[in-house]
Chains A and B, each alone.
Chain A
């Protein structure tokens, strides 16, 4: 059983981050991660290989999150500040903290399926094939959702009048 510990433990930060970005509430997100861990431990033999563990855990978490989101509309109007308060306080400038906030708000306005792809691929570094497995959709659908998500997020940021500033700011940072 000690291999369970070694395989699961390093993934906890990423699982918590994905859960919170989806549910936008710290307590509910950690509840979800706890449910995921309990399920993973009791169904440990259903994994195919050790290398699969990451995608497998994300798949369990994702499915539990979707069930919860469908049931509890409550999460849809929770304060966005609960997602990543640390990001706003640790931002190098107040201006940048505000942009993080705007970006996360725009992210929250994306349809769930697009948001999930963007997070799994862009933030959690899952391969396109692993994202397809987690979401249980064909690879082509992953690519088209990713494309739509990026286009829409860019538009949302445009309408907030932030993208151009964000771009120039980024160049300064780099």
Chain B
């Protein structure tokens, strides 16, 4: 009886225990007769074992409480119904008012945000565009601090305070002006030298001149937003909002002091 030729796929199947017993034995016989192939497959097998061993401790860690599935289910079950009902009602209202044909069902995301929620979303969008830019994230470097302050203080109606976040490891990189729903806004960028950046957006608030600090989140960019004396501020980064709370508090403290 002739044996089917051994393929590269068979060799990987051998390593991953994906072959049936008969084929496994055939590959084994082949490898015994071909020491050069055997040496390569032995290295791949070592490699596989080592990788499993190196990553195994992650799976041994206790699961963080925010990944508690039963709590997540309890939390989602309630708002899920409300969210859907609200969105459907909104969709119906839209269709009745304008006979909108192309209404796309996108849940609560499509409801227009206001106040610091809108501000937080704009901060996240600016972050996504500029904080990840490798060529020219900022228009004015940290050294041109005073020029930037002069530039943006015109539309902010007050002198912008550039918070010093170096105590948290984030150094001021520079800033620029960006467009928002409320007109121009100042965008300040910070870098920790380890590849992590933060963005702070400041703009005048038409609808919520005073607002306590609240968590904001949009497409994986998280942070906090608040408003004080008609100016809204939002500090965001590509990390869990928890990590930013104390930094946002520090920024607010410095701004309020001036």
Contact = CB atoms under 8 A, between A and B. Distances in A.
A and B together in one complex: yes
A103 B43 CA distance: 13
B94 interface: no
A100 B49 CA distance: 11
B136 interface: no
B59 A16 contact: yes
Interface residues of B, number: 50
A1 B238 contact: no
B73 A76 contact: no
A90 interface: yes
Interface stretch (B169-177, B193-201, B245-253): B193-201
A31 B57 contact: no
A143 B52 contact: no
A155 B240 CA distance: 37
Interface stretch (B21-29, B60-68, B145-153, B207-215): B60-68
Interface string A33-76: 11101100110000000000000000000000001100111111
Contacts of A134: none
B69 A12 contact: yes
Nearest to B241: A31
B52 A123 contact: yes
B128 A163 contact: no
Residue of B18, B47, B134 most packed against chain A (CB within 10 A): B47
B72 interface: yes
B243 A27 contact: yes
Contact of B59 (A1, A8, A13, A73): A13
Contacts of A86: 57-58, 60-61
A38 B72 CA distance: 7
A167 B42 CA distance: 8
A118 B15 CA distance: 12
Nearest to B77: A1
Given A13-B59, A14-B59, A121 B16 contact: yes
B20 interface: no
The secondary-structure label for the interface of chain B is helix
Interface residues on A, range: 35 or more
B63 A12 contact: yes
Contacts, number: 152
Contacts of B55: 17, 20-21, 83-84, 87, 104, 119, 123
Given A79-B194, A122-B52, A150 B44 contact: yes
Contact of B58 (A34, A75, A77, A84): A84
A100 to B, nearest CB: 4
B54 A9 contact: no
B18 A166 contact: no
B123 to A, nearest CB: 15
B50 A74 contact: no
Contacts of A84: 54-55, 57-58
A87 B243 contact: no
B2 interface: no
Contact of B76 (A41, A76, A167): A41
Given A74-B238, A167-B46, A107 B57 contact: no
Nearest to B239: A27
Nearest to A30: B64
B195 A31 contact: no
B12 interface: yes
A153 interface: yes
A87 B57 contact: yes
B56 interface: yes
A4 interface: yes
Contact of B49 (A87, A118, A143, A170): A170
Contacts of A71: 128, 132, 220, 238
16 contacts: A4-B69, A9-B69, A12-B63, A13-B58, A16-B58, A16-B63, A17-B56, A31-B220, A38-B76, A75-B195, A84-B58, A86-B57, A100-B53, A103-B47, A122-B48, A170-B50
